[in-house]
Structure 1
Amino acid sequence: MLPHISATDSGAVYHALPPVAVDDDCDDELELTFDDSATDHFVVDEVVDSRIRWVYFMLGCAILLPWNVLITATSFFLSRLVGSPLRATFASYMTTTSSLFNVFALAHATATSKQSSPSRRVFWSAASVTLIIVLLFFSTFGYYQPSTFFFFAILCAISLAICVSYLSTATYAGASLFGAPYMQSMISGQAAIAVVVSVVQVVTSALSVWGSTPKAIAAFISNDGVGDGTAEQDSARTFFGISALFMICTFMAYAWMARLPAYKATVGILEENVKLEGALGSADETGGLVFRNTDQENLEERIQIIRVFKANIIYEFALAYVFVITLAIFPVITITIQSTNPNTHPLLFTAIHFLMFNLGDFFGRYICSFPRVITWSATRILAFSIVRTLFIPIFLLCNTVQGPSRDLPVISSDFVYMLLVGALGLSSGYVSTLCVLGASSLEHNPRLRQRREDVPIASTVAGFCLIVGLAIGGFGSFGIRAIICHCNPFMN
Structure 2
Amino acid sequence: MLNFFLVNRLSSQVRILSSLLVMLLVFILVTVLVKVDTSTWTMEFFALSLVCVAILSGASNVLTASVFGVTGRFPLQHSQSLISGQAMGGTVSALAAILDLTIASNVTDSALAYFLTADVFILLCIAAYLLLPKITYSRFFGLFSYYMNLPDEPTDSSSSEDPVETVDVSSSKTNSPPIIPILKKVKVLAACLFYTFFISIIIFPTISAGIESVEKYTGSIWTNKYFTPLTCFLVYNFADWSGRQITTWIQVPGPNSKMLPVLVFLRTFFIPLFMFCNYQPRKHMYEVFFKSDIYPIIFITLLGMSNGYLGTLSMVYGPKVVPKELSEGTAIVMSFFLGLGLAIGSAFSSVVHLI
Q: 255, 258, 271: which one pairs with 2:147? A: 271
C-alpha distance in 1 between matches for 2:227 and 2:110: 14
The AA in structure 1 aligned to 2:6 is: T
Aligned to 1:92: none
C-alpha distance in 2 between matches for 1:155 and 1:163: 12
Q: 109, 113, 119: which one pairs with 1:244? A: 119
CA apart distance, 1:410 = 1.8
Deviates more, 1:341-350 or 1:383-392: 341-350
Q: 237, 246, 261: which one pairs with 1:358? A: 237
C-alpha distance in 2 between matches for 1:235 and 1:305: 45
C-alpha distance in 1 between matches for 2:145 and 2:75: 15
C-alpha distance in 2 between matches for 1:113 and 1:207: 45
Q: 413, 418, 424: which one pairs with 2:297? A: 418
Aligned to 1:163: 59
CA apart distance, 1:187 = 1.0
C-alpha distance in 2 between matches for 1:404 and 1:458: 43
Aligned to 1:184: 80
Q: 220, 224, 227: which one pairs with 1:343? A: 220
SS at match of 1:258: helix
C-alpha distance in 2 between matches for 1:334 and 1:351: 11
Mapped contact 2:283–2:354 kept (Cα < 8 A): no
1:317-336 → structure 2 map (5 Å cutoff): 317-336=191-210
C-alpha distance in 1 between matches for 2:12 and 2:285: 57
Mapped contact 1:318–1:381 kept (Cα < 8 A): yes
C-alpha distance in 2 between matches for 1:406 and 1:161: 34
Q: 270, 274, 286: which one pairs with 1:391? A: 270
C-alpha distance in 2 between matches for 1:262 and 1:320: 33
C-alpha distance in 2 between matches for 1:398 and 1:452: 47
Aligned to 1:314: 188
CA apart distance, 1:376 = 3.2
Q: TM-score normalised to the size of structure 1?
A: 0.61
CA apart distance, 1:468 = 0.8
Mapped contact 2:277–2:295 kept (Cα < 8 A): no
C-alpha distance in 1 between matches for 2:107 and 2:180: 46
Give the ranges of 4+ consecutive aligned residues of structure 1 lying more than 6 Å apart after TM superposition.
403-406
Residue by residue, what CA displacement relative to the aligned partner does 1:101-147 show, whole Å, maximum 9, x if unpaired?
xxxxxx11111111112122221211221222233334444444554
Q: Among the aligned pairs, what percent are the same residue?
A: 24
Q: Does 1:466 align with 2:341?
A: no
Aligned to 1:253: 128
Q: Max radius of gyration: which structure? A: 1
* Bigger relative contact order (CA 8 A; separation at least 6): 2
CA apart distance, 1:314 = 0.2
C-alpha distance in 1 between matches for 2:115 and 2:224: 22
SS at match of 2:73: helix
Q: Does 1:113 align with 2:2?
A: no
CA apart distance, 1:415 = 2.5
1:471-490 → structure 2 map (5 Å cutoff): 471-483=343-355
The AA in structure 2 aligned to 1:416 is: Y
The AA in structure 2 aligned to 1:331 is: P
Given the superposition, is the C-alpha separation of residues 422 and 139 from structure 1 closer, same or farther in structure 2, using an over 3 Å criterion? farther
Residue by residue, what CA displacement relative to the aligned partner does 1:17-45 show, whole Å, maximum 9, x if unpaired?
xxxxxxxxxxxxxxxxxxxxxxxxxxxxx
Extract unaligned runs of 5+ from structure 2.
Answer: 152-170
CA apart distance, 1:455 = 1.8
Residue by residue, what CA displacement relative to the aligned partner does 1:195-238 show, whole Å, maximum 9, x if unpaired?
11111111111235xxxxxxxxxxxxxxxxxxxxx666554443
Mapped contact 1:119–1:258 kept (Cα < 8 A): no
Residue by residue, what CA displacement relative to the aligned partner does 1:261-298 show, whole Å, maximum 9, x if unpaired?
443452234334389xxxxxxxxxxxxxxxxxxxx958
Aligned to 2:310: 431
SS at match of 1:178: coil
C-alpha distance in 2 between matches for 1:416 and 1:233: 36
C-alpha distance in 1 between matches for 2:297 and 2:179: 41
C-alpha distance in 1 between matches for 2:212 and 2:108: 21
CA apart distance, 1:407 = 4.3
C-alpha distance in 2 between matches for 1:252 and 1:343: 46
Given the superposition, is the C-alpha separation of residues 412 and 235 from structure 1 closer, same or farther in structure 2, using an over 3 Å criterion? farther
CA apart distance, 1:332 = 2.1
Residue by residue, what CA displacement relative to the aligned partner does 1:418-465 show, whole Å, maximum 9, x if unpaired?
221121111111111010122122xxx4xx3xx221222222211111
Given the superposition, is the C-alpha separation of residues 349 and 453 from structure 1 closer, same or farther in structure 2, using an over 3 Å criterion? same
Q: 255, 258, 278: which one pairs with 1:379? A: 258
The AA in structure 2 aligned to 1:306 is: I
1:131-142 → structure 2 map (5 Å cutoff): 131-141=25-35, 142=37
Residue by residue, what CA displacement relative to the aligned partner does 1:361-420 show, whole Å, maximum 9, x if unpaired?
100100000036553334221111111111111111122224999945222322221221
The AA in structure 2 aligned to 1:111 is: F
Given the superposition, is the C-alpha separation of residues 239 and 378 from structure 1 closer, same or farther in structure 2, using an over 3 Å criterion? farther
C-alpha distance in 2 between matches for 1:118 and 1:300: 15
The AA in structure 2 aligned to 1:466 is: L
C-alpha distance in 2 between matches for 1:200 and 1:368: 26
CA apart distance, 1:467 = 0.6
Aligned to 1:172: 68
C-alpha distance in 2 between matches for 1:415 and 1:195: 20
CA apart distance, 1:185 = 1.1
Mapped contact 1:110–1:169 kept (Cα < 8 A): no
